[in-house]
C-alpha cells in the first residue's frame, strides 16, 4: 500500500475531461490513457480496483471509498513516486468490483492480494497455517493433541503457537502434568494393558481403567484451566492438595502432585515473557533497513508467550511502515482468527477501518493499539528488537548467498550468477515406491513453495533403474515447461508436502510464475551415468543446449568433500575441500536427498495403510466399512463366498461378483 495511494479520498472528484488523452493507436490503451479511459465510466461507490498489464498480469490491487476519486489520482499523471509511474506506464486495463461498504472493499482487497500476488502490492509471502493444541471432547476420555488446519473436531482449541516445535514442547510437558492420553481412538479401544506412555508417567491409562472417568475428567478440566490462563490459581490449589496429602502421610500422592507442579512451572518458564496487563494479544513489530522489511509477530494467549515468527513482506515499491503494517494485518488475518487485542509498533494506515473489518468478520470487538508507555510498550520494543536482529541475519545470509552464487557461476562457466538452481534426486527401496524429487534454490535461499515430487509412473521401467527414473523425471518436468501449459507449471500432478505443510498453493500466481521460469543451473545427484540420462531426456525434447547440466557424484568412500563434478565437454573435476562453493553445493545436494527420502517415506507409508479393497471399482468408504465390519479384514473379504458377499448391506449381486473375482483372478 503506497503512501500516495493511502491519502483520504477527496469528496469532490477532479475534472479530467480537459486533460489530453493519447491519440488512438498502439499506445492508446496503455498507461495514463488506459486509466483515463476507464475513469470516465467508474462509479463514485466503494470498491476494489485492479491494474492489469497487457499480458494479463495483475500489477496492483487497491480499495477505495470512492472509486472514481481514487483512480483520478493516477489519471492526473503527476506527484507520484517513480515506482507508481512505472506501474501506471505498464497498465493496459483497469477493472473494478463495486462493494456495499469500504469495509467490504478492504476484506476483498486483502483476499485478492493474497490470491493474485500483484507485483506492486506489499505481499505477505508466508501464509502457512499455525498449529494449535486441541483437547478433543468427542470421546469419554478426552485426548490432547497437536492440530493444524480446519477446526472440524469437537473440543477446545488453544493457540495459535508460532511453530510445531513450540506445540510439541508444550504438549510433552502437559502430558507430564495432566497425564491425558494422546493415542487415537482405535488404539484406545484395542488396548488390553497400559502403553509405554503410562510406564514413563505421561498418561494415566484410562484405556485399561487405571484411572476412573471422574478422576480423568478432573485432569482434563485442570489442563483446560491451565491453557485458559488460570495457571497461578491451579498451581496454588495443587500446592494446597500436596500439603494436605503429605499431612495425611499419603506420600505417593503428594509426590505425584509435586511432579505436576514442577511440570506446570516448566511450561510457564519456557514461555518467556508472561505479561501482567493482558491475557490475549498479538504483538506486531516492524523494522526497515536497506530497502528491506521484517515484521515480527508474537503470540500471547492465556497470559503466556506462545512463540513468534518473522515475516519478510515483498514489495517493489517503498511504502512507509504504516502502509506496510496496514497491508500486512489485512492479509495476515484474512484466513486467521485475530485476538481481541493487536499491539503494533507503528500505527497502521486506516486503522479504524481495519478494526471495523476484523470486528465485523469475527462478530466481536477487535482492538488495534500502538502503546506509548508501560508494559505493553516494553513488549512491543522487545518485538522490534527481534525484528531488527532477524532482518540483520537475513541480510547477512543474502549477501553471503550472493557471493556463493558468483562462485558457482565461475565454477560452472555460467554467464552470470544463477537466479534459479534446480536439484534432482531419486529415492526408492529396490525399485518400490519410487519417487523423484526437485528442490529449488536462489538468491533468497531454498524456495520450498516450488519443491516438487514425481511419482515414477513408467510401468515398463526396470525396478531400481535409477537412470530411467531420472530420464522420466527430467522429461516430464521440461516437456511441460517447454510447452508452457497453464496448469502444468508445477511439473507434477501431486503437490509437494514438506514437514507436514502443503507448499503447492495452486492459487499462488507468484510461485507459479517463478516455477515457469527456466533454471539457470540443473544439478543431478549422480555421476556420469546420471548426467547421461538427464542429457538423453533433454535431447528427446531438443532442449539440451537450453539448460546447463551438472552431475554431482559422491567422492571416494562416499565422503563429503571428495565430490566429483561432471559436465558435458569437460573432464570430471573436484573443488578444494575447504571451498565455500563446495559446501554450498553439498547443502543443495543434501537438501534434495532429504526431500526425496521424505517423499519416498510418505508414499511408502501411504501404501502400508492401503487396503486391497481400494483397488476394486465400486467399493467406496461406506461399502468398504460395511465389508470390514462383516468380515473383520480384507483377508476375510477375500475368503468370503459369493453368497456371503451378496448378503452385505449395500453390496449388489454385480458388485459381489466383482469383489469375488478380484481376489480369484483366472
- Note the pLDDT tens digit of each residue in 194-208: 888 888 888 889 999
The span from the CA of 390 to the CA of 666, in Å, is: 66
At 78 the pLDDT is: 64
Q: According to the model, what pLDDT value does residue 158 have?
A: 84
**What percentage of residues in the chain have a pLDDT greater than 90?**
17
CA–CA separation, 663 vs 612, rounded Å? 9
Q: Where does 451-598 show beta strands of DSSP type E?
A: 452-455, 497-498, 501-502, 521-525, 549-553, 564-567, 570-573
Q: Using a pLDDT cut of 70, give the percent of the chain over it.
A: 84
> What SS3 state is found at 257?
helix
Cα separation, 254 vs 375, in Å, equals 37
pLDDT at 1: 33
CATH 3.30.420.340 maps onto the chain at: 421-606
Q: Give the class (CATH, top level) of 421-606.
A: alpha beta
Beta strands in 302-340 (DSSP E): 304-311
Maximum mean pLDDT: which of 74-88, 158-172, 346-360, 426-440: 346-360
What mean pLDDT do residues 243-259 have? Answer: 81
Give the pLDDT confidence of 362-404 residue by residue, as tens digits: 889 999 999 998 889 988 998 998 898 888 878 877 778 888 9
Give 237's contacts (C-beta < 8 A, 6+ positions apart): none
Tell me what the mean pLDDT of segment 305-325 comes to. Answer: 79
pLDDT of residue 302 exceeding 60, the answer is: yes
Q: Return the C-alpha torsion angle 632, 634, 638, 639, nearest 10.
A: -30
396-403: long-range contacts, CB 8 A cutoff, minimum separation 24:
397/445, 398/443, 398/444, 401/443, 401/444, 401/445, 401/584, 402/443, 403/580
pLDDT of residue 25: 38
Residues facing 132 on adjacent strands = 147
Select the highest-mean-pLDDT range: 74-83, 128-137, 279-288, 547-556. Answer: 279-288
pLDDT at 108: 85
pLDDT value of residue 2: 33
pLDDT at 508: 40
What is the largest distance, in Å, between two alpha-carbon atoms of the chain? 98
Average pLDDT, the chain: 80
- CATH 3.30.420.10 domain position(s) in the chain: 281-392
Query: Looking at residue 120, what is its pLDDT?
Result: 84
CB atoms within 10 A of CB 34: 23
Q: Is the pLDDT of residue 85 over 80?
A: yes
pLDDT tens digits, 109-134: 888 887 788 888 877 765 567 888 89
- Please write the tens of the pLDDT for every residue from 262-291: 766 665 554 445 677 888 899 999 998 877
Q: Where in the chain is CATH 1.10.150.20?
A: 612-662
Which residues, including other chains, have CB under 8 Å from residue 481's CB and lie 6 or more apart?
Answer: 489, 491, 516, 518
Element (DSSP H or E) covering residue 321: helix 321-332
Average pLDDT over residues 546-571: 81
Sheet holding 304-311, edge to edge: 304-311, 292-301, 281-289, 341-344, 367-369
pLDDT, residue 286, reads 93
Distance (Å, rounded) from C-alpha 530 to C-alpha 551? 7
Across 257-266, average pLDDT: 72
Q: How confident is the model at residue 617 (pLDDT cuts 50, 70, 90)?
A: confident
Q: 31-116 belongs to which CATH class?
A: alpha beta
Residue 249 CA to residue 264 CA, distance in Å, equals: 24
549 pLDDT more than 80: yes
Return the pLDDT at 266. 63
**Cα distance between residue 207 and residue 390, in whole Å:** 46
Is 67's pLDDT higher than 50? Answer: yes
Task: Give the C-alpha separation, 640 to 628, whole Å.
Answer: 11
Phi, psi (deg, nearest 5) at residue 253: -65, -40
578 pLDDT above the threshold of 60: yes
**Residue range 281-392, CATH number:** 3.30.420.10
Distance (Å, rounded) from C-alpha 336 to C-alpha 533?
A: 46
What is the structure's pLDDT at 551? 93
- pLDDT surpassing 50 at residue 24: no
Starting at the edge strand found earlier in the chain, the sheet holding 132-136 runs 143-147, 132-136, 155-158
For the stretch 210-228, pLDDT in tens is: 989 988 988 888 888 878 7
* Protein fold of 612-662: DNA polymerase; domain 1 (1.10.150)
Q: SS3 sequence, 15-84? A: CCCCCCCCCCCCCCCCHHHHHHHHHCCCCCCCEEEEEEECCCCEEEEEEECCHHHHHHHHHCCCCCCHHH
Residue 135, SS3 per DSSP:
strand
**Torsions phi, psi for 345 (to 5 deg):** -80, -25
Instruction: Note the pLDDT tens digit of each residue in 444-493.
Output: 888 888 899 998 877 777 777 888 889 999 999 998 888 764 433 333 44
Q: Under a CB-based contact definition with an 8 Å cutoff, are residues 369 and 341 in contact? A: yes
Mean pLDDT on 40-63? 88
Give the relative orientation of helices 231-247 and 213-227 as an angle to the nearest 10 degrees: 140
Spatial distance between the Cα atoms of 543 and 526, rounded to a whole number of angstroms: 20
Higher pLDDT, 263 or 415: 415
Instruction: Kindly indicate the confidence band of residue 405, based on its pLDDT and cuts at 50, 70 and 90.
Output: very high
pLDDT score recorded for residue 18: 44
Question: Which pLDDT belongs to residue 490?
Answer: 37
The pLDDT of residue 666: 62
pLDDT of residue 516: 67
- Reported confidence tier of residue 501, pLDDT bands at 50, 70, 90: very low
Residues 501-523, mean pLDDT to the nearest whole number: 56
Amino acid at each position: 500500500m503506497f503512501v500516495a495511494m493511502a491519502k483520504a479520498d477527496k469528496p469532490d472528484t477532479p475534472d479530467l475531461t480537459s486533460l489530453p488523452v493519447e491519440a488512438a493507436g498502439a499506445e492508446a490503451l496503455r498507461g495514463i490513457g488506459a486509466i483515463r479511459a476507464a475513469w470516465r465510466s467508474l462509479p463514485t461507490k466503494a470498491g476494489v480496483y485492479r491494474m492489469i498489464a497487457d499480458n494479463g498480469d495483475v500489477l496492483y490491487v487497491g480499495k477505495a471509498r470512492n472509486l472514481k476519486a481514487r483512480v483520478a489520482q493516477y489519471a492526473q499523471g503527476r506527484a507520484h513516486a517513480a515506482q507508481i509511474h512505472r506501474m501506471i506506464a505498464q497498465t493496459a486495463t483497469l477493472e473494478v468490483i463495486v462493494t456495499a461498504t469500504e469495509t467490504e472493499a478492504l476484506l476483498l482487497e486483502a483476499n485478492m492480494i493474497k490470491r493474485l500476488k500483484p507485483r506492486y502490492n506489499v505481499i505477505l509471502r508466508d501464509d502457512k497455517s499455525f498449529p494449535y493444541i486441541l483437547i478433543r471432547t468427542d470421546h469419554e476420555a478426552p485426548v490432547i493433541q497437536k492440530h493444524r488446519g480446519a477446526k472440524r473436531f469437537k473440543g477446545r482449541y488453544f493457540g495459535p503457537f508460532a511453530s510445531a516445535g513450540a506445540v510439541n514442547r508444550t504438549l510433552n510437558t502437559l502430558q507430564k502434568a495432566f497425564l491425558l492420553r494422546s493415542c487415537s481412538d482405535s488404539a484406545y479401544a484395542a488396548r488390553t494393558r497400559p502403553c509405554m506412555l503410562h510406564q514413563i508417567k505421561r498418561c494415566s491409562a484410562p484405556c485399561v481403567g487405571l484411572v476412573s472417568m471422574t478422576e480423568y475428567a478432573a485432569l482434563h478440566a485442570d489442563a483446560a484451566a491451565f491453557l485458559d490462563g488460570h495457571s497461578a490459581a491451579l498451581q496454588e490449589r495443587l500446592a494446597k492438595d500436596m500439603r494436605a496429602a503429605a499431612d495425611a502421610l499419603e506420600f505417593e500422592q503428594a509426590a505425584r502432585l509435586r511432579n505436576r507442579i514442577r511440570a506446570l512451572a516448566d511450561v510457564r518458564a519456557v514461555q518467556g515473557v508472561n505479561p501482567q496487563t493482558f491475557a490475549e494479544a498479538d504483538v506486531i513489530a516492524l523494522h526497515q533497513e536497506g530497502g528491506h522489511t521484517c515484521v515480527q509477530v508474537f503470540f500471547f494467549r492465556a497470559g503466556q508467550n506462545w512463540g513468534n515468527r518473522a515475516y519478510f513482506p515483498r514489495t517493489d515499491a517503498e511504502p512507509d511502515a504504516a502502509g506496510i503494517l496496514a497491508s500486512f494485518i489485512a492479509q495476515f488475518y484474512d484466513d486467521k482468527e485475530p485476538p481481541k487485542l493487536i499491539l503494533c509498533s507503528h500505527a497502521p494506515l486506516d486503522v479504524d477501518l481495519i478494526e471495523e473489518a476484523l470486528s465485523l468478520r469475527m462478530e466481536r470487538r477487535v482492538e488495534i493499539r500502538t502503546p506509548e508507555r508501560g508494559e505493553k510498550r516494553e513488549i512491543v520494543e522487545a518485538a522490534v528488537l527481534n525484528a531488527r536482529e532477524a532482518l540483520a541475519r537475513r541480510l547477512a545470509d543474502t549477501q553471503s548467498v550472493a557471493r556463493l552464487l558468483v562462485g558457482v557461476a565461475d565454477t560452472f562457466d555460467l554467464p552470470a550468477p544463477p537466479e534459479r538452481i534446480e536439484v534432482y534426486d531419486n529415492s526408492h527401496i529396490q525399485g518400490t515406491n519410487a519417487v523423484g524429487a526437485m528442490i529449488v534454490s536462489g538468491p533468497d535461499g531454498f524456495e520450498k513453495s516450488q519443491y516438487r515430487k514425481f511419482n515414477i509412473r513408467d510401468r515398463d521401467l526396470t525396478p531400481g533403474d535409477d537412470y530411467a527414473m531420472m530420464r522420466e523425471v527430467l522429461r516430464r518436468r521440461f516437456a511441460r515447461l517447454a510447452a508452457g501449459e497453464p496448469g502444468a507449471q508445477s511439473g507434477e500432478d501431486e503437490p509437494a508436502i514438506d514437514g507436514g505443510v502443503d507448499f503447492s498453493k495452486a492459487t499462488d500466481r507468484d510461485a507459479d510464475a517463478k516455477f515457469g521460469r527456466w533454471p539457470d543451473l540443473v544439478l543431478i545427484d549422480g555421476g556420469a551415468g546420471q548426467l547421461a540420462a538427464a542429457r538423453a531426456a533433454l535431447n528427446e525434447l531438443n532442449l539440451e543446449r537450453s539448460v546447463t547440466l551438472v552431475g554431482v557424484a559422491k567422492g571416494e568412500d562416499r565422503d563429503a568433500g571428495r565430490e566429483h563434478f561432471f559436465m558435458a565437454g569437460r573432464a570430471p573435476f573436484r573443488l578444494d575441500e575447504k571451498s565455500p562453493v563446495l559446501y554450498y553445493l553439498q547443502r543443495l545436494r543434501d537438501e534434495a536427498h532429504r526431500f526425496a527420502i521424505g517423499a519416498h517415506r510418505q508414499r511408502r507409508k501411504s501404501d502400508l495403510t492401503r487396503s486391497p479393497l481400494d483397488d476394486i471399482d465400486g467399493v467406496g468408504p461406506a461399502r468398504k466399512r460395511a465389508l470390514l465390519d462383516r468380515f473383520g479384514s480384507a483377508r476375510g473379504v477375500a475368503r468370503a463366498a459369493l453368497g456371503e458377499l451378496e448378503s452385505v448391506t449395500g453390496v449388489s449381486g454385480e458388485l459381489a461378483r466383482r469383489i469375488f473375482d478380484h481376489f480369484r483372478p483366472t
